[in-house]
Structure 1
Amino acid sequence: MKEFKIQSFVLILISFILGFSEFIIIGILDDLAKEFSVSVATTGYLVTIFALVYAVSTPIITSTLKNNLYHAMVVLALIFTFGNALTIFAPNYTILVISRIIVAIVSGSLVSLSMTFATVIAPMPKRAWLVSWIFSGFSVASVFGVPLGTWISTTLGWRFTFITITLLSIITVFLIIKTLPHNLMQEKQGHILQQFVIFKDPRIYLSVFIQTCSLAGVYVFYTYLRPIFSKTLSFNPGVITLLLTIFGVMSLISNQASGRIANNKGLLSMPLLYIIEFIVLITMPLWLQNTWLGTVDIMLVGILMYLVNSPLQLHIMGVAENDYPQSLVLASSINSIFSNLGISLGSAAGGLVVSNFGLNNVGIGGAAFTAFALISTVMLNKVNAAREPLY
């Protein structure tokens, strides 16, 4: 039991450092725009580029992992550390983009491997718990990492933020080497085309569409969270750091609630929750006219944003374990792949909304994607109703 707790901590730490590195751009958006003399909308496309590269590279890497998965984890973690170190020394915006691309290339595969390790080390009663906590590592990054990184950036400069991320990455690599099983292999892995057969299953392609639209709906708004706090709601920098922390707590609550939903009604609960999220987002322009009502609305989005994660992850893994064992590692990455495709789509859409209609209207763009997630969830539940439950 002690070994399981230590290994679980390391897997959660991996997701934390991945989330810290990915999400910190949102906290230092204004600082990067000032440093490199580009607009906030242009800097916001760093989120789009990162997520798009993440989504494209992850299935390619995960589907070709044929050897020892522990060795793959260590190599990818070292590349991740190098990419963040390169960001520290970026002399211009182009090198900054390149460094973010390097980090993005390996981040999704690291999440996938973490999920694969989780299914091996966790006893069945603890599987939903560990999966929800691996997802929650990203929320903990929002709670502590993004506000801390934002404070460091404001106080010492954004490069010191990435020095912190790089040092934490080195520590994480050391812990991976010391604690995780060294002999984990993916079994029954087929040819790359055999692995991708899983995407022909309606339970999978509907899940993919749900995850993409769900994250797109949130990131139309979330990419521009700091500018909304500073420009639309007129909070000063010190208060913004506190608000980012509170928002992170809301997203952590969201991930933990996601685990509870997975252990109860699962995806059957999601249509009602998506209806609530749709209402919260589409009415956001009205809420943002008042500082405190706007803040409440933003925090409600934080609570709703990750509720689908654990039910959908366990559903996908259940499909793979029962019907597509050759695609298990690929299946474990599906959630993160299409989350980032959704992030890329949502942040790009957010950039268009901000450029053409202003910050106040990002919620309406998010609501449109949420409506598609709602429709897809209803369809998936109908498909699942005709089959044995997989979670």
Structure 2
Amino acid sequence: LPQFRLFFDRRIQLGVLTVVFGAAASYVFYTYLTPIMRDEVHVPEQYLSVGLVIFGAACLWSNLYGGKLADRGRGVEPLTHIRPIYCAHAVLMASLVVAHWVTVYGALLLVVLGMFMYLQNSASQVLYMDVASQSHPGSLNLAASLNSMSFNIGIALGSAVGGLINGHFGLMWLGPVGALFLVCAIVITTMLRPFVAQERDFYADI
């Protein structure tokens, strides 16, 4: 039970919400990636598997580069540096609606969106572990599981909302809805910024 004190830390709450909304933004469209490639970007059926491999490679790059982004500070600071990335991601996600008419742009956009999918992961893991080490050393085991927990909640949320949007409005509107989730992530990372100065003082005294 003492481990659950971690959830009363404002930094942890904001970190979890950031990951939930960041994951939901990507999985709104990722759940329907093959139909989007086939019906919106008009990739021929025989090349869909090639397209999925290319998208997978972009996601692999996202994971690798996300590790480099996590090296930019300690505690909440790396995740606050993701805010400009969320802004660019939101604009690109909203532009997915154009893919229906400009197929070349749509194909390139899907690759770029794959490169954005996991950039937050390492930075959020740094937040969870560093905050637990600073203030809740008895909660390190729970902190280690928060990233996957938060991301899975985001996947469920994004997939569910994506299903509703696709059912009522069609595939082309999945991108703009994903952008709304990213706006939420932008707001939350902005709320994390006041903690950066506090943590710098903490680490300076170590």
Q: Distance in 2 between matches of 1:227 and 1:330?
A: 37
State the partner residue of 2:133: 321
TM-score normalised to the size of structure 1? 0.49
Q: Could you tell me how far apart the structure 2 residues matched to 1:264 and 1:304 are?
A: 17
Residue identity (%): 36
Partner secondary structure for residue 70 of structure 2: helix
* Distance in 1 separating the partners of 2:6 and 2:80: 22
SS across alignment from 2:81: helix
Amino acid aligned to 1:341:
I
1:314–1:198 CA distance, 2 compared to 1 (3 A): same
- TM-score, normalised on structure 2? 0.91
CA distance in 2, matches of 1:302, 1:375: 22
Give structure 1 stretches of 5+ with no counterpart: 1-192
Give structure 2 stretches of 5+ with no counterpart. Answer: none
Superposition map of 1:368-383 within 5 A: 368-383=180-195
Q: 1:288 to 1:297 in 2, by over 3 A?
A: farther
Report if aligned partners of 1:288, 1:295 keep a CA contact under 8 Å in 2: no
Identify the match of residue 8 of structure 2 among 200, 221, 226: 200
Structure with the larger RCO, 1 or 2 (CA within 8 Å, 6+ apart): 2
* Structure 2: distance between partners of 1:298 and 1:194: 44
Aligned length: 198
Counterpart-to-counterpart distance in 2, 1:346 and 1:268:
22
Deviations 1:284-331 (A, max 9, x none): 101332221111111111111111111110111111122212211111
Aligned residues of 2:83 and 2:186 also touching (Cα < 8 A) = yes
Paired AA for residue 27 in structure 2: Y
Q: Please identify the structure whose Cα radius of gyration is greater.
A: 1
What residue identity is the alignment partner of 1:361? W
Which residue among 11, 17, 22 is the counterpart of 1:214? 22
**Which amino acid in structure 2 is aligned with residue 226 of structure 1?**
T
1:247 is aligned to 2:55: yes
Aligned partner (choices 54, 57, 68) of residue 260 of structure 1 = 68
TM superposition shift of 1:236: 2.7
Partner of 2:162: 350
The answer as to 2:147 corresponding to 1:335 is yes
Shift of residue 271, structure 1, vs aligned partner: 1.2
Task: Extract structure 1 runs of 4+ deviating beyond 4 A.
Answer: none
Residue of structure 1 equivalent to 2:95: 283
Measured against aligned partners, the alpha-carbon deviations of 1:350-383 in whole angstroms (never above 9, x if no partner) come to 0011001101110011001000001111111222
Q: Secondary structure at the match of 1:298?
A: helix
1:251 CA displacement: 0.8
Q: Quick check: 2:40–2:99 contact (8 Å CA) kept in 1?
A: no
